[in-house]
Amino acid sequence: MTQFLAFTIIGIVAGATYAIAASGLVLTYATSNVFNMAHGSVGMFMAFLYWEVQVNQGWPTWLALLFVLGLAAPAMGLLLERVMMRRLTEAPVAISIVVTVGLLVALIGLAQTVWKPAGRDIPEFFVGQAVDIGPVRVTIHQLITLGTALALAGGLYVLLNRTRIGTAMRAVVDNRELLALHGGRPNLLSGLSWAMGCSLAALAGILIAPQISLDYITLTLLVISAYAAAMVGRLKNLPRTFVGALVLGLLTTYAQWGVSKIDKSTLDASQGLIQGARIALPTLFLLAVMLVLPQEKLRVGRIGGTTLPPLPSWRKTLAWSGVFLAVVYTFTANISPANNSRFGQALCLSLIMLSLVLLTGYGGDVSLCQLSFVGVGALVTGRLVHGITPVTIVVAFLVSGAVGVLIAVPALRLRGLYLGLGTLAVASAMDTLVFETSFFGFGARGASFDITRPSWLRSEQSFVMAVAVAFVVMSMVVLAIRRGKYGRILLATRDSQAACATLGFSTTAVRVAVFGVSAGLAGVAGVFYTGMHVSVSTEDFFFFKSLPLLLFAAVAGLTCISGALLGGLFYGVLPFLNDKYPSVATLVAGPGLLAGILLLGGNPNGFVGILFGLRSKLPAELVPAFARRSRAKAGVVVGSA
């Protein structure tokens, strides 16, 4: 009974921390219509800043809290709202997710630059002081966490639902211009909500940091539990969010208690499945919550469109494919085997991004689990077929595609933001339930296996050429789908699902099929990714790595093949730049990437879309004759706003 009470108290305190973080998410989403994927990284960064001033600089606790929660965090919120979030209120969900993912990656990189990796700890409030609740000793820090969560839940509920300023804050997301006509100040109100949201993220990070190590990734990813709690309240209802957070906190601690009661022989016999299920409980909870939510209604009265980059003819596609292969062959013949390996790994990333062109670029569906399908392809290569052959490629496509369909059937009832978070939950769950198990995965985290290339692909240059050929073939598959009936339905669905439903189209089957084909292509990319790396492990397919993958693809241009190629090469060359020219890498990955993220709000086609736009504005006499003919034949293809 004592253990049960102890775990109950721990679960309630953990749930209270989740509730504080989730309240910040609900506040910013309800007032801006932007779901901040970087909410956890904001809390992480502010927790490091609190450590800096309170521990490293020796400030008094009260002064450090006042500085971080009352000055630094609100200032960050105001800056983010002014520079980024204000532009995303009317943007498509895919763009807002990509931009906030970019902010997440940027904050982690900034924290790693300012505070080099080292062991750091934040002390609890009133260290050593506690009270007894029956047979259980509860620390003052735990009581402060619970009391703060209760006070914030009640205060925010009253603010948003019982005050004029709260009503005005919620009205900002509906119509900024109409609110201004009624005397409101939408810019000030939106900035206030983001300042409060960042302060809540900082508070959650500071409260939970003493319970875990002060780590960049760990603190950032703990917000997944806050995602689940926020979804219980459908990103609007604060009392339900608080209840959901407490339920999740209790479930995770009870699961930990239950696993501790299982004997070691049973745990070993499960080959990691039991421990994996315990670790994956928050993401499974998130997925379950979203699947039981009512399906999002189709939006009517709005058709948003953007001109996609022109679709090349088959003749031009074949010509450019030949040029690409010739350039790759010439380039790889004149560089060292080590650089061939680096180039090939970057080209493998382009292969993975190519699968996103079909799903996200053409279909508008955001997938944050694409790297998990790549991992399935790697498992097919190493555990099912045991080598790289044409049969391996076919089997990887079929198995990965089947997994994609199994995920798509329940997940595609979700749309927009819910679909993105659902695929994120799937990716996180696959890490612990598949990749980190010995039953059908790689084994415990860090475990790996080696792949032997076929004799005719042993050299680095020959395997790079194989990857290049695979890119050309997969590009033709993607373009063939774009040109066909299913591609037209996909683009029409992306424009207006309500219009398609009115015309009698059942888009669900098309979306499931495209999701499966996209997963299959990612599985094929996994075969070449495994062969290029020779040795792969669980770390290669960690779900967090899917986030920068989507980010770089979107910045380069997710709506065309050349964007996937450019994005993969750009992402893949960063480690090389970081080794040889760290200052250049910092400039490219920092300000350069941030500039690309900000451009997404104005041009969803990314950097390649900007290049196509510049070419269309060239004077006619500067455009070659064949390009003028292509421009004249090219029609306007409508996508999503």
pLDDT at 303: 39
Reference 142, options 253, 38, 54, 28; nearest CA is 253
Which residues lie closer than 8 Å to 485 by C-beta, 6 or more apart? none
Phi, psi of 21 (to 5 degrees): -65, -40
Q: Say if residue 389's pLDDT is above 80.
A: yes
pLDDT at 276: 78
Structure-block tokens of residue 595: 């500039």
% of the chain beyond a pLDDT of 70? 83
For the beta carbon of residue 621, count every other beta carbon within 10 angstroms. 6
Structure-block tokens of residue 597: 């993220």
Torsion of CA 210, 213, 216, 219, to 10 degrees: -50
pLDDT confidence band for 623 (50 / 70 / 90): very low
Return d(Cα 21, Cα 597) in angstroms, integer: 25
Q: 593-600 vs 606-616: helix axis angle to the nearest 10?
A: 70
Element containing residue 292 per DSSP (H, E):
helix 281-292
Return d(Cα 233, Cα 22) in angstroms, integer: 10
SS3 307: strand
**Chain position carrying tokens 């421009």:** 631
Torsion of CA 353, 358, 364, 367, to 10 degrees: -50
What's the pLDDT tens digit per position in 64-118?
A: 999 999 999 999 999 988 888 877 777 777 778 888 888 888 888 888 888 988 8
Four-way CATH pick for 2-261: 1.10.3470, 3.30.70, 1.10.260, 3.90.550: 1.10.3470
- What are the angstrom distances between the C-alpha of 143 and each of 128, 150, 218, 221? 13, 11, 23, 24
pLDDT (mean) for 242-256: 88
Is residue 429 within 8 Å of residue 435, measured between CB atoms?
no
How do the domains of the chain map onto residue ranges? 2-261, 314-592+601-633
Max CA pair span of the chain: 87
Beta bridge pairs of residue 132? 137
Structure-block tokens of residue 356: 């996103």
Structure-block tokens of residue 529: 């990714």
pLDDT confidence band for 307 (50 / 70 / 90): low
Return d(Cα 309, Cα 610) in angstroms, integer: 9
Structure-block tokens of residue 377: 């392809």
Is residue 214 within 8 Å of residue 121, measured between CB atoms?
yes
Return d(Cα 500, Cα 484) in angstroms, integer: 17
pLDDT at 599: 57
Which residues lie closer than 8 Å to 1 by C-beta, 6 or more apart? none
Reference 333, options 319, 343, 322; nearest CA is 343
Is residue 468 within 8 Å of residue 323, measured between CB atoms?
no
Structure-block tokens of residue 554: 């979107």
β strands within 98-179, DSSP E = 130-133, 136-139
Reference 630, options 319, 229, 368; nearest CA is 319
pLDDT at 409: 77
From the centroid of its chain, how far is CA 495? 23
Reference 33, options 73, 81, 71, 79; nearest CA is 81
| CATH code for the domain defined by 314-592+601-633 | 1.10.3470
What's the pLDDT tens digit per position in 596-607?
A: 565 555 566 777
Residue, of 37 and 399, whose pLDDT is higher: 399
For the beta carbon of residue 440, count every other beta carbon within 10 angstroms. 13
- What are the angstrom distances between the C-alpha of 626 and each of 315, 604, 623? 12, 27, 8
User: What's the mean pLDDT when you consider all of the chain?
Assistant: 81
Reference 160, options 89, 106, 235; nearest CA is 235
Q: In one letter, which amino acid is 193?
A: S
Return d(Cα 497, Cα 505) in angstroms, integer: 9
Q: Say if residue 640's pLDDT is above 50.
A: no
Return d(Cα 201, Cα 320) in angstroms, integer: 49
Stated pTM of the model: 0.84
Return d(Cα 157, Cα 237) in angstroms, integer: 8
Please count the CA atoms within 13 angstroms of the CA of 161 that sit on its side-chain side. 10
User: Is the alpha carbon torsion for 623, 629, 635, 640 positive or negative?
Assistant: negative
- Angle at CA of residue 227, ends 223 and 230, nearest 5°: 125
pLDDT confidence band for 332 (50 / 70 / 90): very high
Please count the CA atoms within 13 angstroms of the CA of 536 that sit on its side-chain side. 29
pLDDT at 547: 82
- Angle at CA of residue 416, ends 412 and 421, nearest 5°: 80
**Which of 87-96, 142-151, 278-287, 568-577 has the least mean pLDDT?**
87-96
For the beta carbon of residue 539, count every other beta carbon within 10 angstroms. 14
pLDDT at 136: 78
Please count the CA atoms within 13 angstroms of the CA of 213 that sit on its side-chain side. 8
pLDDT at 178: 65
pLDDT at 498: 64
Structure-block tokens of residue 40: 């956890």
Is residue 116 within 8 Å of residue 385, measured between CB atoms?
no
Give the chain's count of helices (H) and strands (E).
Answer: 30, 4
What's the pLDDT tens digit per position in 391-433?
A: 999 999 999 999 988 888 776 666 667 778 888 888 888 888 8
Return d(Cα 196, Cα 201) in angstroms, integer: 9
Residue, of 555 and 504, whose pLDDT is higher: 555
% of the chain beyond a pLDDT of 90? 22
**Which of 179-188, 195-204, 622-631 has the least mean pLDDT?**
622-631
pLDDT at 637: 35
Residue, of 120 and 373, whose pLDDT is higher: 373
DSSP sequence for 116-128: -S-----PPTTTT
Q: Do 2-261 and 314-592+601-633 agree at the fold level?
A: yes
pLDDT at 300: 39
Structure-block tokens of residue 56: 């490293």
Element containing residue 536 per DSSP (H, E):
strand 535-537
pLDDT (mean) for 503-514: 74
Reference 290, options 196, 429, 172; nearest CA is 429
SS3 320: helix
**Which of 129-133, 478-482, 626-630 has the least mean pLDDT?**
626-630
SS3 130: strand
From the centroid of its chain, how far is CA 95? 12
pLDDT at 13: 87
Please count the CA atoms within 13 angstroms of the CA of 298 that sit on its side-chain side. 15
Which residues lie closer than 8 Å to 107 by C-beta, 6 or more apart? 38, 41, 42, 44, 45
